[in-house]
Structures are given as C-alpha cells and as structure tokens.
Homo-oligomer: A and B are copies of this chain.
Amino acid sequence: MTEPRTDTYDEWLRARVPERGLRPKAAAVLDVLVSQPRRASYGSAAELAQLAGVNVATVTRTAQALGFAGWPALQQELRARYLSSLSAGQVAAEHAGAGSPSSRSLRRDLDSLAVLNRRLDEAVLLTIAEAVAAARRTVVVADGSYAAVGLALAHNARLAGYPVAAVTAGDSELANVVAALGPEDVLIAISFWRLYESTVLAAHEARSRGTRVFALTDAASPALAAAAEEVVMVPAEGEAFFPSLTAGIAVAQALVTQLAAVDPARTGASIEAAEAMWAKFGLLHRRPAPPS
C-alpha cells in the first residue's frame, strides 16, 4: 500500500530475512508474526509455535535466523513496531473524510459492530454454545447472502470439534434435513433483511419436533421469534442496498469462540487432527525457501 505506516511492521520484519531465505517452518512462523502482531508481541514462544503449527524450538531458531539473540529479543522489537503502527495510524484516522463508498461502508460496519458490542447479551451466546455442545448435531439454516455466515459458523464449529452442518443448497435438501431432526438436535436459523420463507418454515417445523431452535436476525420478526428459544438481534444495515454481513459474521465468530471454550480439550484435539489432515493432504502453502 502507499501509506508507509502500514508497511512499517511487515516490511521491517521481512527485511530481516537472510539472503538464503527461510526454512519452511520458519516461514510459517514468520507468517504468524506478520498476521497476528498482537499475539506475537504479547504471547509466549509456545503460543506462537502452536499457532504456526511448529515446535517451540523452531520459534526460537527462527528468531535467531532473523538475526536476534532469541525469542525475547525479537519480541521486544515486535512490540515497539506493533505499537507504533497502532498509534501512528491514530493520527491519520482523523483526517479520513466522508470519502468513497467503500470507506463509508467500513465506517458503518464499525459503527454496527460498536452497537452490537454494547447491546449483545453474552448470556444468550453462552446458552446457544452450550446447546450446540450438547447436541447430537446442529443444523444451520441460512439463505441468500447470509449463507456465508452460516457456512462460516458451521465450518469453524466443525473445526472446534462439533457436528455442525450448514444447509444452503435449497429447499429440497432443507426439507430432508429438517425431517431428520429430533429433540437431541439444535437448529440455528440465520436470516436477515427479509426472511426467507423456507427458513421460517424450517424453524417452525424443527420446533414442533422438539429441536432447540435459535435465530440470528436483524429484525424481530414475530414469525421467527415464535419458533425460536432465543433470538439474537444483529444490526445489518449496509451502506448500499445490500445488508451488511459484518455484524453477523462477528456474532458467528463470537459464538464459535464461546463454543471452543466449552470443552477446550475436545476442541484442541479436533484442531490438532485437522492440522494433521491438512498436512497430509498438502493443502497449505508454505513459502518456498528462496523467494523466486
């Protein structure tokens, strides 16, 4: 990007990379350092190692490969750079005027999230997380553009070790899935803006089968509220015509985070298994040693 402040942290870090390039695992560590500066500057080497999927020793060695005495020395530098990148931006934020549609959109999302942060009752999320954790399986129904939220929720919840599936493939699949629901299951209906008929139907049907039903929506629709045990209200007003997914995703993220905290051992094991699988399938791109 054109702004020098953005680059300070990353560029400085990457400039430390020796000519020879970095070993694969060291590159993985570097990626974590760049992408998670907060954690990098506060966390321990062990924490970073877990995040990078490497051994603790590799973190220390990476720090040494970057020209530092060890991890603490590197971390001290990271702190300084990270903090200055934060406070430097502070100044620039002021004179960011009304600006382009994109920046207006961002600002609105920021506001929405602030509102959400203030209003949201965390007890509700806790209830839902515990329900999902206890459920035989969980079905997420999400239609339209909010299918993305449903997918994200299901994906990460599975990563956390819970059988959560998103249904976005249309009414026939939805019907089949709902038909198999029972009292041991949980259904999460995600619907914004205007409610989709099929989502509402599914929620009611599931409720009548004894399934625990939760809803995530932007408008307190009586139709959905009647079917749901709890309704999470999320601001979804977008700058343009489309509703904003940002707040919805944030809630999904919060829910999964809460879910991961219900049974840390289970989640840890699940993530570990997933990592092993990724490695086996060679899915991840570890940076090549000499940057071509």
Contacts and interface: CB of A to CB of B under 8 A. Distances in A.
A101 B237 contact: no
Interface stretch (A56-64, A172-180, A238-246): A238-246
A286 B91 contact: no
A118 B92 contact: yes
Nearest to A7: B220
A219 B105 contact: no
Nearest to A224: B285
A101 B260 contact: yes
A122 B282 CA distance: 35
A95 B113 CA distance: 12
A35 B237 contact: yes
B117 A113 contact: no
A2 B125 CA distance: 13
A171 to B, nearest CB: 9
Contacts of A34: 219-220
Interface in A260-283: 260-261, 267, 271, 282-283
A250 interface: yes
A233 interface: yes
A76 to B, nearest CB: 8
A160 B283 CA distance: 33
Interface string A190-221: 00111111111100100010000000001111
Interface of A: 1-3, 5-6, 10, 14, 28, 31, 34-39, 41-42, 51, 79, 83, 86-87, 89-96, 99-107, 109-110, 113-126, 129, 143-145, 147-149, 151-152, 155-156, 159-160, 192-201, 204, 208, 218-223, 226, 233, 235-246, 249-258, 260-261, 267, 271, 282-292
Given A105-B250, A147-B151, 6 more contacts: A35-B193, A86-B87, A90-B93, A95-B118, A110-B117, A145-B159
17 contacts: A2-B123, A6-B119, A14-B222, A34-B219, A35-B243, A100-B122, A101-B260, A103-B120, A105-B254, A148-B249, A160-B242, A197-B283, A222-B291, A223-B290, A226-B290, A239-B257, A241-B260
